[in-house]
Amino acid sequence: MTVRDFQLVLPAQAENVSVVRHALAGLAEAMDMDPAQVADLKTVVTEACMNVVVHAYDDGEGPLEVDACRDGDALVVVVRDRGSGIRPRPDAARESLRMGLPLIAALSSSFEISGGPGRGTEVAMRMTISVDGNEPAVKVAEPVGEGAAVSMPAGDLVGPVLGRVISIFAVRADFSVDRLSDVTLLADAISAQGPDHFPDGTTRVAVEEEDGAVAIRVGPMVDGAGQRLLDQMRIPGLDASLEGLADAVRVERDEDAEHLLLEIRPQARV
């Protein structure tokens, strides 16, 4: 089974499971999934992702891929590896909830497994949502070093997903509570940008921890959109700007587009 509306690719490391869990929780909450359903979602996703981290790769290196999409009254989540094709085993000793497939079966409305030796494994889980309607497509794809690149249509879902992803990297870098608030403001400012800032209406943001700082790269953007974004980040009526929350800001241009680069460190500049 393949789901293409949301895609997250990260190194299959235990610390990255929290990135997946929080990103999907933000997405589910934006879809008005109730708290109990969100908790179940986080549980089954954690279990499936930890299976990849522990079992999928003999050398300990490889991608952890998570796809998701809205399908009627349900959120369908697929956790995939490109490893040896070992399927989840509930009796295996590992750093997870130690419940395996019985737990996933109990908390999801349905699930299926596909794959085999040399072909990796997919675990597809369907989580019922008690509201109607469809949500925009969301993608988080292509690892950036030890980071991640988030891609989704500009709109209401950007904030809940992007804010959580950036915050996880900030927590890893030991940001203070006040500095985490600054990170949230920056994420909100980026999320507020309309589709006219991007060539195809899709917000793309790469996030990575570099030498204790969180580096954020927005784009590709249409010509002039980087400066317009900075202008819109200024706080009306005050001699202040959200741009000032970052330790470094620059706009890079190439032949086809431009990118806005932000760097924020654990301690604010004095």
Q: What is the pLDDT of residue 235?
A: 56
Q: What is the pLDDT, as a whole number, of residue 241?
A: 64
CATH topology assigned to domain 139-264: Heat Shock Protein 90 (3.30.565)
Write the CATH number of the domain with boundaries 6-128: 3.30.565.10
Q: What is the pLDDT of residue 258?
A: 92
State the pLDDT at residue 237: 52
Quote the pLDDT of residue 141: 45
User: Per the confidence metrics, is the pTM higher than 0.75?
Assistant: no
Give the model confidence (pLDDT) of 79-138 as tens digits: 999 887 654 444 444 444 344 677 787 788 888 888 777 778 889 999 988 654 444 445
For the chain of 270 residues, list the mean pLDDT of each consecutive stretch of 10: 63 87 87 87 88 80 86 89 64 47 80 79 86 48 60 75 82 82 81 83 84 88 84 59 77 87 78
Please, are residues 218 and 204 in contact by the beta-carbon 8 Å criterion?
A: yes
Q: What is the rounded CA–CA span in Å between residue 187 and residue 251?
A: 17
Distance between CA atoms of 5 and 114, rounded to whole angstroms? 19
What pLDDT, on a 0 to 100 scale, did the predictor assign at position 132?
43
Q: 6-128 with 139-264: one CATH topology?
A: yes
- What string of H, E and C letters represents the secondary structure of the chain? CCCCCEEEEEECCHHHHHHHHHHHHHHHHHCCCCHHHHHHHHHHHHHHHHHHHHHHCCCCCCEEEEEEEEECCEEEEEEEECCCCCCCCCCCCCCCCCCHHHHHHHHCCEEEEEEECCCEEEEEEEEECCCCCCCCCCEEEEEECCEEEEEEECCCCHHHHHHHHHHHHHHHCCCCHHHHHHHHHHHHHHHCCCHHHCCCCEEEEEEEEECCEEEEEEEEECCCHHHHHHHHCECCCCCCEHHHHCCEEEEEECCCCEEEEEEECCCCCC
Domain residue spans in the chain? 6-128, 139-264
